[in-house]
Amino acid sequence: YNKMDPKAGTGHMNAIAACGMQLDNTRLVFISACESSVGSRPTQEMPNSFTQAIRAAGSDSVISTLWTITDEEAIEFVSFFYDHLVNKPQCRPSEALSYAKLMMKNTGKSMFYWGAFVCNGLDIPLFPA
């Protein structure tokens, strides 16, 4: 984890900057930002999305979103995701993602609030036995 220096720039991350991060040996990056899995114009020189940039920087797996999400529901979703991940050490990111979606559905939340989250990359346990 590297804090961004607010004096160094705007404090905003873009896909090109994300590509330059050193994420080798990083098992999972969770991007709880709107449309972080959606790309723009793919080119050979630029990453298509934050997800692609984070994977190019070396992360094995990325959880990101396909559409705009609200902060309140994102916090609830992330809590369910990490609760499952921590309590089931052998679980894969896709399992924790499915669990969080099921919990959100069971609380009566519309798919709009939990369906945006997707898993990209390697689907391997974060804490192998």
Contacts of 41 (CB under 8 A, 6+ apart): 48
Q: Quick count: other Cβ atoms within 10 Å of Cβ 122?
A: 14
Q: Which long-range contacts (CB under 8 A, 24 or more apart) does 96-105 make?
A: 97/63, 101/77, 104/73, 104/76, 104/77, 104/80
Quote the pLDDT of residue 1: 34
Quote the pLDDT of residue 104: 95
Q: How far is C-alpha 62 from the chain's CA centre?
A: 5
Joined together, the tokens standing for residue 60 give 């094995």
pTM, two decimal places: 0.80
| Series of mean pLDDT values for 10-residue runs along the chain (129 residues) | 49 74 90 71 64 88 89 92 91 95 94 90 85
Quote the pLDDT of residue 91: 92
d(CA 2, CA 21): 9
Quote the pLDDT of residue 20: 82
Burial class (CB in 10 A: 0-12, 13-18, 19+), 115: middle
